[in-house]
Amino acid sequence: MAANALGSRIPNRQTPWWFKATLIGIAVGYCALLLILPLVTIFYEALHEGWALYWKSFQAPAARSAIYVTLLTAAIAVPLNLVFGVAASWAIAKFEFRGKSLILTLIDLPIGISPVITGMLFVMLFGMRGWFGPWLDEHNIKIIFALPGIVLATIFVTFPYVARELIPLMQEQGSDEEQAALSLGANGWQTFRRVTLPNIRWGLLYGVILCNARAMGEFGAVAVVAANVRGKTNTLPLHIENLYMDNQITAAFAVASLLAMLGLVTLAVKTGLEWKLNQQRSLILEPTN
Amino acid sequence: MFAIAVPSRTFFSNWKQRSILPGFGLTLGYTVFYLSLIVLLPLSTLFVRTTTMSWDEFWTTISEPRVLAALRLTFGAALVGALINALFGFIVAWPLVRYRFFGSKLLDALIDLPFALPTAVSGLALTAIYSQNGVLGRYFYAWGIPTAYSVIGVMIAMTFIGLPFVVRTLEPALAELDAETEEAAASLGATRSQTFIRVILPAVTPALLTGFALAFARAIGEYGSVVFISGNIRGKTEITSFLILEKLEQYNYAAATAIALTMLLASFGILLAINGLQWWSNRRFCRGGI
């Protein structure tokens, strides 16, 4: 049997072209229907009634307020999570201590929790019948159904992104360069700014971009904590839902196209940075071998 | 629970390895503080509500017909979506790793689209495509298949959201496959399909299972891309996330907690089961080790 196999069956290793073509065809067709068609639909539906109507969708006070709330939320959540991400990855990547894996698990947690459950946690904390609800009510502080709730839920949902990008990067880089800088007389802050920061800058940018995209696009968690009080506490995704419920489909798609562009830019930057990071990694890894 | 809070002397001296780098206390302190405030405090509400809830209370909520229907729909549709993704994820990942063709780089980048697109945006687009007058919906409706505001719509949305998980976990596994092993199999007389079933499939099974589990878990918790196309018809196309939202709007925190708990436990159970399966398949297929 073996002889037979060796004699006649050693195939040419080339995969037949029709097999390749069919597989590529199915893959491309499937992705075109599942991924590209929705993307095209968004821009088509947003623009097929003309640019005038498209621009008008952003003139409405509700739309302007939603843009403002979204930008404000991201402007608060992203820097906070940036500082946290850098601090956490410094502690985790540069030092060995017990309980590290517990902290890593906690950092990963928000990614595994469904957005609606995230929103629920904050409602149970600050809502009318939540833990701090009565006290907040007494002091006339609004968190749930108001901007602070949106910001808190967004922080929760987006805080892993910077840390998750930086920790593996900083672990890979080790701390030899920092030790060298310190032994040459640099202080801690100088070491961080002149040695660590340049090394992690692309990873940091990547994390910030992912964090920002998620912050601006979060829907589930924010839908729970924000009442749909139009013009007051709507983010862009919530505004889309309102327009859709109102049967203003073109306006809904116009706003959606704005967020879709944010997603596309994120994707483009991500692809570019991944390429750059891989390049940088191979540069770092080569000399040590 | 937190060993850091009351360190004994010997514990403290072994707790952290010495290092000349500064800033450990500051950064770790800030990390723990931030995590406690943003993660542990909100999570503790779930924990406390769960422990104070009676079994009866939990059971009454869960056995409510509407909740049961939502659980069945959510888990069923998520399972179907994950299965479709496991199959098509494989078919998509294979050419992306193995063949170079025009646009392959672009296609590879586009796989992440469901991650990058805000969920409300995908939900809106999917609804437009699969509604009665939509680009694809009109054909389905002509065949008598209602794709929007139906169980099928939920499955479509959950398939959309899960694709990147399977492709992204399969890609490295497929890239790591040794061409020599396949050549060895072929030279020993294996046909192409035998090589695929006996050599390639076992090697990528752990990755496929992981991708499947991640897609499944994500689909269970998904909200934004599903609620538009599902239409939330009472007792028919409501997903569990939607019910939680509704219970919260009625200030029924206990019921919301009960549903959320069921979802969390189920996701946790799935991940555990998949870990077990992975361990089993690793033992079964990689016995000799390489």
B123 lies in some domain: yes
Per residue in B23-68, pLDDT (tens digit) is 888 999 999 999 999 989 998 998 898 888 888 989 988 899 999 9
Interface of B with A in 52-81 (CB under 8 A): none
Residue B186 touches chain A, beta carbons under 8 Å: yes
Per residue in A196-227, pLDDT (tens digit) is 999 999 889 989 999 999 999 999 999 998 86
Q: Which domain holds residue B199?
A: 61-285
Q: Tokens 């929103």 — which residue?
A: A119
CB B42 within 8 A of CB A132: no
Helix B41-52 × helix A115-126 angle, to 10°: 80
Of B43, B125, B159, the CB nearest to A38: B125
Per residue in B162-200, pLDDT (tens digit) is 999 999 999 999 998 877 888 888 888 888 888 888 888
- Name the CATH code of domain A61-288 (choices 3.40.50.720, 3.20.20.70, 1.10.274.10, 1.10.3720.10): 1.10.3720.10
Cβ neighbors of B86 (< 8 A, separation 6 or more) are B166, B208, B211, B212, B215
- The neighbour count for residue B103, using CB atoms within 10 Å, is 10
What does the pLDDT read at residue A99?
86
B53 lies in some domain: no
Instruction: Output the six-digit token pair for B126.
Output: 């999917």
- The neighbour count for residue B254, using CB atoms within 10 Å, is 18
CB B160 within 8 A of CB A38: yes
CB contact under 8 A, B135 and A256: no
CB contact under 8 A, A115 and B221: yes
B117: closest chain A residue by CA: A263
CB contact under 8 A, A1 and B223: no
Of A117, A213, A218, the CB nearest to B244: A117
What does the pLDDT read at residue A174?
86
Residue B271 CA to residue B210 CA, distance in Å, equals 8
Cβ neighbors of B83 (< 8 A, separation 6 or more) are B212
B110 lies in some domain: yes
CB contact under 8 A, B128 and A213: no
Per residue in B248-259, pLDDT (tens digit) is 888 888 899 999
Confidence of residue B7 (pLDDT cuts 50, 70, 90): very low
CB contact under 8 A, B128 and A36: no
Per residue in B110-129, pLDDT (tens digit) is 999 999 999 999 999 999 99
Min Cα distance A287 → chain B (Å) is: 23
B183: closest chain A residue by CA: A13
Min Cα distance B90 → chain A (Å) is: 9
What does the pLDDT read at residue A34?
93
CB contact under 8 A, B24 and A244: no
CB B173 within 8 A of CB B203: yes
The DSSP secondary structure of B87-119, one letter per residue, reads HHHHHHHHHHHH---TTHHHHHHHTTHHHHS-H
CB contact under 8 A, A98 and B23: no
CB B237 within 8 A of CB B73: yes
Is pLDDT of A287 > 60? no
Q: Is B137 exposed, middle or buried (0-12, 13-18, 19+ CB in 10 A)?
A: buried
What does the pLDDT read at residue A228?
53
What mean pLDDT do residues B89-108 have?
Answer: 91
B161 lies in some domain: yes
Domain map (residue ranges) of chain A: 61-288
If one counts the domains in chain B, the total is 1
Per residue in A249-270, pLDDT (tens digit) is 999 999 999 999 999 999 999 8
Give the single-character DSSP code of A97. Answer: B
Confidence of residue B14 (pLDDT cuts 50, 70, 90): low
Q: Mean pLDDT across chain B, nearest whole number?
A: 87
Q: If DSSP codes are grouped into helix, strand and coil, which group holds residue B70?
A: helix
Q: If DSSP codes are grouped into helix, strand and coil, which group holds residue B16?
A: strand
The DSSP secondary structure of A43-62, one letter per residue, reads HHHHHTT-HHHHHHHHHSHH
Instruction: Output the six-digit token pair for B181.
Output: 């092993």
Residue B198 touches chain A, beta carbons under 8 Å: no
Q: Mean pLDDT across chain A, nearest whole number?
A: 87
Residue B262 touches chain A, beta carbons under 8 Å: no
CATH at residue B192: 1.10.3720.10
Per residue in B201-240, pLDDT (tens digit) is 888 988 998 899 999 999 999 999 999 999 898 988 999 9
Contacts of A273 in chain B (CB under 8 A): none
Confidence of residue A12 (pLDDT cuts 50, 70, 90): low
What mean pLDDT do residues A40-49 have?
Answer: 93
CB contact under 8 A, A95 and B16: yes
What does the pLDDT read at residue B288?
45
Residue A17 CA to residue A156 CA, distance in Å, equals 50
Percent of chain B as helix, strand, coil, to the nearest 5: 75, 0, 25
Min Cα distance A195 → chain B (Å) is: 13
Percent of chain A as helix, strand, coil, to the nearest 5: 80, 0, 20
Is pLDDT of B70 > 90? yes
What does the pLDDT read at residue A1?
41
CA distances (Å), origin B116, targets A35, A188, B167: 11, 37, 15
Residue A32 CA to residue A42 CA, distance in Å, equals 14
Q: Tokens 């080339």 — which residue?
A: A14
Is pLDDT of A8 > 50? no
Contacts of A218 in chain B (CB under 8 A): 118
Confidence of residue B289 (pLDDT cuts 50, 70, 90): very low
Is pLDDT of A4 > 50? no
